[in-house]
Amino acid sequence: MEIKQTAVDWLVEQFEKDGYLDIQRIQQAKQMEKEQMFDYIKNNIVIGEKTLKFFQEEFEKYYNKTFNN
């Protein structure tokens, strides 16, 4: 599977080019982006707690594999 780049990763690249890097804020932004992705699944796809747990586990696998975190 092709490794993709999140919007936050792209922004980090731009900051690195300019010589500016704030690791703590970058990690915070990445976590926020990940939560927003999962919230979309939770609010638009999932029905029931067992299904939510399944989707959460599958999302974690997908996210880690796709975005190499």
pLDDT digits (tens, 9 = 90+) for 8-63: 888 888 888 888 878 888 888 888 888 888 888 877 776 777 787 888 888 889 88
Q: Are 3 and 68 in contact (CB under 8 A)?
A: yes
Q: pLDDT grade, residue 1 (50/70/90)? A: low
Cβ contacts of 26 within 8 Å, gap of 6 or more: 8, 12, 15
pTM of this prediction? 0.60
